[in-house]
A = this chain, B = another copy of it.
């Protein structure tokens, strides 16, 4: 359980750093409160931990990636705030707490999301703090824009909305997940590789690992909506079926979905074996994603 010690140590550092960044902003108190509220709502911090884990796998100091890791968590958090809005998923609870718009109102929730999204790019580009080379920082910005934007997460979100209440084929479902959750997860791993100075070949293996990790993550998400424990997940279970949502279990049956999950875990592991790195934590990370109960 190397990962557990690693996570404990760095989760705290990630959360402290995000708090520092936001508390240092010269901005209306209520906006700062709304941005902090969702950033501090907890969560596994999977994405930022992936950045740091890749750096460790390359024998580098994980803290080189701290600001980039925080930027990714800000992007993830903004996407949850906007996803929860009444015009989107209309969710009242997130991680067991009232959603941002329930506490701060819709207008401020939209703006808190916009603020976090905009801040994320500044955190990576702020050379005084993060001590990256300009070329590295710029590549991180360009790739983040691609992964989080219309060609990535935002595109997946639109496809998801358009697919609602429709019977999707597996390819369409996969498009949604590869984009909506996969692209930012993949970016987290790519960012670690960029920061570690990995070459093209290495990046290819890690991107492959990330792709399958992302799909495994989503399939387990669907499975948890059937088999999960409400108090552990922090949201209602069974909502996918109630909402007639296309899911892996709905398309493949529950056992078919589990088979698919194992398939992606296997391919992720194979990709990882080809990368010339210390694999331990990334293997555990995959295990965590595939076997998590929340």
Q: Which A residues lie at the B interface, using CB under 8 A? A: 25-28, 30-32, 35, 78, 82, 85, 87-88, 105-108, 110-111, 113-115, 117-119, 121-127, 134-135, 137-139, 141-142, 144-146, 148-151, 154-155, 157-159, 161-162
Assess A115 versus B149: contact at CB under 8 Å? Given A108-B161, A127-B138, A141-B125.
Answer: yes
Residues of B within 8 A of A157 (CB): 111
Residues of B within 8 A of A114 (CB): 78, 82, 113-114, 117, 149, 154
Cα-based distance from A238 to B89 in the complex (angstroms): 36
Assess A125 versus B138: contact at CB under 8 Å? Given A158-B108, A159-B28.
Answer: yes
Interface centre among A105, A113, A139 (most CB of B within 10 A): A113
A236 → chain B, closest Cβ, in Å?
Answer: 21
A164 → chain B, closest Cβ, in Å?
Answer: 10
Interface centre among A78, A127, A142 (most CB of B within 10 A): A142
Is the pair B155, A31 in contact by a Cβ cutoff of 8 Å?
yes
Is the pair B122, A142 in contact by a Cβ cutoff of 8 Å?
yes
Cα-based distance from A288 to B87 in the complex (angstroms): 39
A169 → chain B, closest Cβ, in Å?
Answer: 16
Is the pair A25, B151 in contact by a Cβ cutoff of 8 Å?
yes
**What residue in chain B is nearest A154 (Cβ atoms)?**
B115
20 inter-chain pairs at a CB distance below 8 angstroms, sorted by A residue, are A26-B151, A78-B114, A82-B110, A82-B114, A85-B107, A87-B105, A88-B107, A108-B158, A108-B161, A111-B161, A113-B114, A114-B154, A121-B144, A122-B145, A122-B149, A124-B141, A126-B142, A134-B137, A134-B138, A138-B141
Is the pair A110, B134 in contact by a Cβ cutoff of 8 Å?
no
Q: How many copies does the complex hold?
A: 2
Task: State the majority secondary structure of interface residues on A.
Answer: helix
Is the pair B31, A118 in contact by a Cβ cutoff of 8 Å?
no
A161 → chain B, closest Cβ, in Å?
Answer: 5
Is the pair B88, A150 in contact by a Cβ cutoff of 8 Å?
no
Residues of B within 8 A of A27 (CB): 150-151, 154-155, 158
Cα-based distance from A219 to B117 in the complex (angstroms): 30
**What residue in chain B is nearest A82 (Cβ atoms)?**
B110
Residues of B within 8 A of A25 (CB): 150-151
Assess A118 versus B115: contact at CB under 8 Å? Given A30-B158, A150-B35.
Answer: no
A-B CB proximity, top 5 nearest: A122-B145, A118-B149, A87-B106, A134-B134, A125-B142
Residues of B within 8 A of A26 (CB): 151, 155
Residues of B within 8 A of A82 (CB): 110-111, 114
8 Å CB contact of A28 from B118, B148, B162 = B162
